[in-house]
Amino acid sequence: MEFMKCLQASGMNNYVVATTKSWNIDAFYENCHGGWCLITEQEVLTLECLRRLRPRYVFFPHWSWVVPPEILAEFECVCFHLTDVPFGRGGSPLQNLITSGYKTTKLTALKMTNELDAGPVYGKLDVDLTGKAERIYDQVAELCYAHIRHIIANEPIPAEQEGEVTYFKRRKPAESVLPYRFHQCYDHIRMLDAPDYPKAFIERGDLRLEFTDAVETKDGIEAKVVITNV
């Protein structure tokens, strides 16, 4: 498997995108042409690698690991967080927002610092939280590149965050179990319905039932169910 792909073009600034999710990788190939490198594995993102590439910016649409402080110190690194920071710093923002009843949010572009989601802000864009998680993440991937185009074109100086700081806690796979309250089921299924996410589930004896593609109807909720042996 190829863990770094470069679309080189002479006479241009270089830019790096580091991401692990399929929707962000697809968006990279749709939006980036010449002077770009895509990194998808932790071991490739090293100070030595970036020094060879000499990027103007390193963008992190979704990254599963802590970025070493020496990289943050030497390169301008930009991440994207799905809340109106300083509200909702921390993990699992989509799921925490939907669980809390939010219908919209902001996608914030941040300069990365050694403190999680605490860096100064380049800008914020509106995000609609209706539909299943896969649709929302596809929307977010495109909005990341709207941010990226603005940052590259304008090289803005990010502004420090203002307001009360609140935090979200990263969810664990065990929290994907389907709740026993009917009014929570639709949102619970849809907020986990994306590739690589632990689906909403119920276990009964040696059976595991996983739920996707939930639709609200006048009679209740319809969903696809996959039954496996555990």
| 87-133 residue pLDDT tens | 999 999 999 999 999 999 999 999 999 999 999 999 999 999 999 99
CATH number of 4-168: 3.40.50.170
Percent of the chain with pLDDT over 70: 97
Report yes or no: 107 and 185 within 8 Å, Cβ to Cβ. no
Residue 169 has pLDDT above 70, yes or no: yes
| Confidence tier at 39 by pLDDT (50, 70, 90) | very high
| Confidence tier at 2 by pLDDT (50, 70, 90) | low
Whole-number pLDDT of residue 10: 47
Using left for φ > 0, alpha for ψ between -120 and 50, and beta otherwise, residue 7 falls in beta
Spatial distance between the Cα atoms of 71 and 203, rounded to a whole number of angstroms: 44
Q: Give the residue-averaged pLDDT of 27-47.
A: 93
Which DSSP helix (H) or strand (E) runs through 104? strand 104-111
| Confidence tier at 138 by pLDDT (50, 70, 90) | very high
Spatial distance between the Cα atoms of 57 and 79, rounded to a whole number of angstroms: 11
| Confidence tier at 1 by pLDDT (50, 70, 90) | very low
CATH number of 173-229: 3.10.25.20
Q: Give the residue-averaged pLDDT of 133-146.
A: 98
Which pTM was predicted?
A: 0.92
Return the domain boundaries, the chain: 4-168, 173-229
Nearest CA-CA partner of 31 in 170, 143, 195, 183 = 143
